[in-house]
Amino acid sequence: MKAHPVTIVWFRHDLRLDDNPALLAAAARGVIVPLFIFAPAEESPWEPGAASRWWLHHSLEKLAAALEKSGTPLLLRHGPSLDALQKIAQQCDATHVVWNRRYEPAVIKRDTLIKQTLLASGLICESFNGGLLFEPTQVATKEGKPYQVFTPFWRTLLKCDEPAEPFPKPKTLSAPAALAAAHKKNPTLDALGLLPNPDWAGRMRSIWRPGEVGAAARLAAFVQKPLFAYGNERDRPDREGTSSLSPHLHFGELSPRRIWHAVREQVGGKPAAQITGDAEVYLRELGWREFANHLLYHFPHTAAAPLRADYARFPWVNDPVGLRAWQRGRMGFPIVDAGMRQLWSLGWMHNRVRMIVASFLVKDLRVSWLEGARWFWDTLVDADLAANTLGWQWAAGCGADAAPYFRIFNPTSQGKKFDPHGEYVRQWVPELTKLSAADIHAPAESLPQTLAAAGIELGQDYPEPIVDHAVARQRALESLKCVSNGKRS
């Protein structure tokens, strides 16, 4: 072994210095070579969408600045990942390569091959858990099998020891002399081609602050006040009741352990199993994220196929016109349209509304959940394969912990319940602004004079409902018989 260890720290979905086990281990050993490799084709069934690429650009920008301030530059490279790692190892005379694990099927396959190849070449490789509270194999049934229902999964998780306290960021970082030469060959961040052209991201810039500092600030603000009303407020898209931490978690600008312990600190440091009320409801959301990764790890086929094999028989409808109207928020159901327009504008959608729009696509239109998953993947700043898969299969009724298929959300009643004053709809569907709270969620049911007074002509200013929800619901239930009877319609 060389006298002075040089460790490549391969950054992936862990774009932070705080609570980064791979970085901390490397820094403790000696000098480090921070490296990010852009190789999206290796990592998931689909290329990353424009919104998440926009976020990645700014997150990498912030990470590079933080590393530079700490004493070392960030190397940027294009894939293939193995080639990039081998070249950097040779240029910098590296002895070790470390990274924090990811759990997407394609990434596991790639990382396994890379580790085998690098070990065979004499490099020492180590990986760490930097993205989950527990490894997917740590929470299991008494028989050692994976869970497929959330509630028992959550109960078992709470019986585990508390997740370890988060690590502070390394006090100092040192780079090898050879890193300067390697850094001269860096492509610019702009050369990665992550930013949209033309630039349509103005609204996203106005509300999001990608990077570790922005993530820490958002967490601090959330646990000070919104946390203590989370149980009720989280379902209100007209209010700021959620943490909005999902993109920061996805890109690893913030660790789940940091969030877990920040919540515990706000309730006096109680063990998670003893926490009740709003804080417990929020911790369950972290548990749901763990559950999503647990499922994708144990059932990797679910990224493209239903967990419940019988749902392969479901007679999905090929409806490009309906799908396009759904994507653009032109369905004639205000809460659905508001959600889809929020998504298009901000790269994010309120979680309650995500459930409503997903139910509408797969049950009112009977368009495959995979079409919805692909659209969310392309438009969300927090597009995450595990969460996206679990959420869409839950909505479709074909996955783990799925609601019974007869639970078909009525978009009008959902709008009235969770946006009772119509403020969310008015924000994103401005053509309905002048309607009262009593009319705004069902303009097609309003009196002609009411619509006229609000300056609305259905079919011109705002679309007629694309379906009759009662009829669509019955058709969905009829289609379900193809699953239970083993027949196709």
* Nearest to 6, CA basis, from 174, 180, 183, 167: 174
* Nearest to 308, CA basis, from 407, 401, 408: 401
* Nearest to 249, CA basis, from 282, 205, 203, 298: 282
What is the DSSP secondary structure assignment for residue 175, as one 8-state letter? Answer: -
* Radius of gyration, alpha carbons of the chain: 24
Whether 260 is catalytic is: no
**Residue 99 pairs with which residues in a beta bridge?**
10, 127
Whether 285 is catalytic is: yes
Active-site option among 42, 46, 316, 431: 316
Active-site option among 260, 392, 394, 428: 392
Active-site option among 42, 61, 285, 431: 285
Active-site option among 99, 369, 375, 394: 369
Whether 375 is catalytic is: no
- Are 79 and 107 in contact, with CB atoms under 8 Å apart? no
Rounded Cα distance, 114 and 217, in Å:
36
In one-letter notation, the amino acid at residue 264 is: R
* Nearest to 218, CA basis, from 200, 235, 240, 233: 240
| C-alpha separations of 458 from 83, 217, 438, 447 in Å | 58, 44, 17, 11
Q: Find the helix or strand (DSSP H, E) in which 345 lies.
A: helix 334-346
Active-site option among 351, 410, 423, 431: 351
In this structure, the chain runs to a length of: 489
Whether 377 is catalytic is: no
**Residue 6 pairs with which residues in a beta bridge?**
31
- Are 136 and 297 in contact, with CB atoms under 8 Å apart? yes
Strand order in the sheet with 31-38: 75-78, 31-38, 6-11, 96-100, 124-128
* Tokens matching residue 77: 């490279």
What is the DSSP secondary structure assignment for residue 205, as one 8-state letter? Answer: H
Distance of CA 385 to the CA centre of its chain: 7
Tally of CA atoms within 13 A in the half-sphere of 207 that contains its CB: 15
Rounded Cα distance, 442 and 336, in Å:
11
- Are 437 and 452 in contact, with CB atoms under 8 Å apart? no
Active-site option among 42, 233, 288, 431: 288
- Helix, strand, or coil (residue 164): coil
Q: Report the relative pairing of strands 31-38 and 6-11 from DSSP bridges.
A: parallel
* Tokens matching residue 397: 């009724």
The catalytic site residues sit at: 285, 288, 316, 351, 369, 392
